[in-house]
Structure 1
Amino acid sequence: MGINHIFRFSLIGSIALVCATIAARSTIAAERNEATVTQIINDVQLRPTGAAAKAAVLNDNVPDGTAVQTGMDSRTELTFSDQTLARLSANTVFSFNKGTRNLDLAEGAMLLQVPKGAGGAKITTAAVTAAITGTTVIVEYHPHAYIKFMSLEGTARLYLKRRWGESVLIRPGQMLITNPDAKGGLPDPVDVDLERLLKTSLLIIDFPPLGSQNLIAKESEKQQRAKSKRTLIDTNLVIFGKGTLVSLTNPVQPNAAAPAAVASAESRSAAIPSSTDLGTIQTPPNPQSTPNRLPAGSYAADNPR
């Protein structure tokens, strides 16, 4: 065989190998930029860009840019190729770009679990952005009403879009609530009762166990040890399900009161037809409220339904 023939076959083989590599990378990129519907409860709609909405069915592929919308008393779960899970609560509108790298929560609530080693993810709302890596979080957002952000395990950092450099680190078992229209900075996070949340959140109990369930349980055990040492104290002030209204479950502390900023946020959000599917939130006795802040203490999450 002549040298020219050998060179020609070698060149053709190299081109074929390059094309196959490019095709494989394109396929992997496409898989990373889409999710699969793995759980459906009641009414779930897929709204592709420039196309009519359709009812979601199990194993539907959800491509980049397609909005997912849940109806009343409805929930769904999306699974990405890196095993990241996004569980959407009732009355939620959610979409994503570049797979798990940029998740947009237009309204409603979601649980997001990013496995360790899966890379980072960014949750975006109109007011704040959250950067997470190897973390399980719950986020609720309603425009002009409130943002509720909770870390079940792992850490996350919350940024204000309108204030460069303004951020807060949310540690495991902590929650932050703020008014998205507030002109001040972000408040300090408070502790959340993880044991109660695991038993009551519909985003947990209505679905199969999370891959991070053991990690969340370990964080809950840390809280129980802190309670036994009295460094973390349970109280009787709670938030039930959706919203930010603080209620008194056992009126034994007449001086305890709901923070003014929280009550104000709830009055603005009373007409929002949504449920966080979360649970309860407890504040310490005699909380000292400040504008746009919740007092520090032990919180939980119960759903009233």
Structure 2
Amino acid sequence: MDSRSFFAFTLILCSAGTLLLSPIAYAETLLSRATVQNLRNQVDLLLKQRSARPARKADIMTSGDALQTYRKAMAELRFNDRSLVRIGEQAVFQFRPNTRTLDLKKGTVLLLIPPGKGRTRVHTPNAAAGIRGSALFVRYIPDSGVSIVGALTNSDIEISNSDGSQTYILKSWATGICLPESNWYLQF
């Protein structure tokens, strides 16, 4: 075996060994910021450790900040992973630092999550939805304690109650309703 062949063989062997011995990496883009793209009517930006103020187009939201919409209001956020979140009227919405976890304290959100960015979780006070590259809506009604999750694409969406004791998979165009007792009612 000449030196060129030996070098090529060694290089291939080392490359294969590196691939086989290295742990598998999963691509997950953590949410670090969101830009307000669109607003309608009264929307407040609740900055962490500061007073609330009216939100403006191009405002940057970071982990721990929240957005609150009022009657007949709407806001659209574009996250650093290109996810789009539309927040409906009378909602309170925020995201957790260095995760892909979103919190909806009340109101409705529509989420469009691009594929390949990792698993995103949306929490309400009594339910959670886990998604990968999908479109869905989540609504929490505080007066009745009901959470509603609707799958808008053919990507499976995992829904669970707050303690995780009941988990279901929503298929396309299915809706799950979590009652205050953390029981699910599924509609297909």
| TM-score bracket for the superposition, by shorter chain length | 0.7 to 0.9
| Structure 1 length-normalised TM | 0.49
- Give the letter aligned to residue 176 of structure 1: G
Q: Which residue of 2 aligns with 1:172?
A: 172
1:133 is the counterpart of 2:132: yes
Structure 2: how far apart are the matches of 1:98 and 1:117? Answer: 20
Aligned-pair distance for 1:189? Answer: 3.0
Q: Which residue of 2 aligns with 1:53?
A: 52
Aligned-pair distance for 1:56? Answer: 0.9
Q: Which residue of 1 aligns with 2:106?
A: 107
Structure 2: how far apart are the matches of 1:90 and 1:143? Answer: 14
Q: Which residue of 2 aligns with 1:187?
A: 185
Q: Residue deviations 1:110-145, cap 9 Å, x none?
A: 001110112110101111111110010011102351
2:126, 2:178 within 8 Å by CA — same for their partners in 1?
A: no
- Give the letter aligned to residue 115 of structure 2: K
| Structure 2 length-normalised TM | 0.78
1:170, 1:189 within 8 Å by CA — same for their partners in 2?
A: no
Q: Residue deviations 1:133-159, cap 9 Å, x none?
A: 001001110235121110101221101
2:63, 2:97 within 8 Å by CA — same for their partners in 1?
A: yes
**Counting strand residues as a fraction of each chain, which structure ranks higher?**
2
Query: Equivalent residue of 1:35, what SS?
Result: strand
What value does the CA root-mean-square deviation take over the aligned residues? 1.8
Q: Which residue of 1 aligns with 2:84?
A: 85
Structure 1: how far apart are the matches of 2:37 and 2:99? Answer: 16
- State how 1:178-217 maps to structure 2 within 5 Å: 178-179=178-179, 181-182=180-181, 185-190=183-188
Aligned-pair distance for 1:98? Answer: 3.0
Q: Percent identity?
A: 27
Q: Residue deviations 1:58-110, cap 9 Å, x none?
A: 11100110010011100010001111011000000000013660100000000
Q: Which residue of 2 aligns with 1:123?
A: 122
Structure 2: how far apart are the matches of 1:163 and 1:129? Answer: 8
Q: Which residue of 2 aligns with 1:95?
A: 94
1:162 is the counterpart of 2:131: no
**Once superposed, which parts of structure 1, at least 4 consecutive aligned residues long, lie more than 3 Å away?**
none
5+ long unaligned stretches in structure 2: 1-28
**Counting helix residues as a fraction of each chain, which structure ranks higher?**
1
Query: Equivalent residue of 1:187, what SS?
Result: strand
Size of the alignment, in residue pairs? 158
Query: Equivalent residue of 1:117, what SS?
Result: coil
Structure number with greater Rg is 1
Structure 1: how far apart are the matches of 2:87 and 2:33? Answer: 16
1:84, 1:100 within 8 Å by CA — same for their partners in 2?
A: no
1:73 is the counterpart of 2:82: no
Q: 1:84 to 1:99 in 2, by over 3 A?
A: farther
2:31, 2:100 within 8 Å by CA — same for their partners in 1?
A: no
Aligned-pair distance for 1:162? Answer: 3.1
